[in-house]
Amino acid sequence: MPGILDFTHYTTEMRKSLIDKIFFMDKLDEDAAAILDYGCADGVLVDFLAAIFPETAFVGYDQSPAMIEAAKARSAAPNAAFFSDFDAAMADLASRGIAPDRVGVNLSSLIHEVYSYGTPESIEAFWRDINGRGFRYITIRDMCCDQSAHRPALKEDVLKARRSCPAKQIEEFEACHGSLSDNYNLLHFLMKYRYLANWDRECAENYLPLTVEQFIGKLSGDYELIYFDHYVLPFLARVVRQDMDITIKDYTHVKLILRRKGL
């Protein structure tokens, strides 16, 4: 998979949806003593929340050492720590006397990357870590469509997309993911066509590896769903309408909060 060509552009784009990504903080109970941001990138979400909630411990984990170095360089929060090793992140929480049943693990725009860049073995290990560590909460915000989004796309929307974007860009997308004539693929393209600065990477990445039905099926039965929101990201709907005169008709993003049963 191609690397990130423009690191600054990549992290700036992630920050644009920051407010949407912190939806969970007012919905957790007082026994959630720590938040583990799994796939924290450059730590902007951790740093933002650590300043607002000084009594909560925040740990950022990302498998990219470069991202963790960037996170450490930008953060001065005393209640935030960053690791590129997951076991080290868990050990840090344990050293502070914080057991997993007092931790919320946050997966923000992450699961699609796990599927895009992982192997079958690493994907299985990821779900074991999330489902099996005994976290109090699992909070998720990611891109996700319904199974019903797999249907023929409206021909006028396909024509608008083809007229609005370079033919080479569409050819490259379709070679990776399939024809825009499938509505699911058209939605996928509309989510990523703007990211030209890192197009080789973004084109190859699968933003929609799971439908929402498959997504929920991956989560352990030890957890109960306490919050669910399936929606169109307002910024995405607005920019697609401005750029292509296409109205997105399917939900594109999902937010979930799951709490471990019996706690």
The one-digit pLDDT tens for each residue of the chain (263 residues) are 444 444 454 445 555 567 889 999 999 999 999 999 999 999 999 999 999 999 999 999 999 999 999 999 988 899 999 999 999 999 999 999 999 999 999 999 999 999 999 999 999 999 999 999 999 999 999 999 999 999 999 999 999 999 999 999 999 999 999 999 999 999 999 999 999 988 999 999 999 999 999 999 999 999 999 999 999 999 999 999 999 999 999 999 999 999 999 98
CA–CA separation, 199 and 195 (whole Å): 6
Q: Chain centroid to CA 113: how far?
A: 8
43: left (phi over 0), alpha (psi -120 to 50) or beta: left
CB of 75 closer than 8 Å to CB of 50: yes
Residue 127: Cβ-neighbour burial (10 angstroms; 0-12, 13-18, 19+): middle
CB of 3 closer than 8 Å to CB of 201: yes
Residues facing residue 231 across a β-bridge: 253
Residues facing residue 257 across a β-bridge: 139, 227
Q: Does the predicted TM-score (pTM) go above 0.85?
A: yes
Domains defined along the chain, listed by start: 7-147+208-238+251-260 (3.40.50.150), 149-201 (no CATH)
How high is the pLDDT of residue 65? 95
CB of 204 closer than 8 Å to CB of 176: yes
First-to-last alpha carbon distance for the chain, in angstroms, is 41
How high is the pLDDT of residue 88? 97
How high is the pLDDT of residue 162? 98
CB of 61 closer than 8 Å to CB of 110: no
> Residues near 30 by Cβ (< 8 Å), separated by ≥ 6?
none
How high is the pLDDT of residue 5? 44
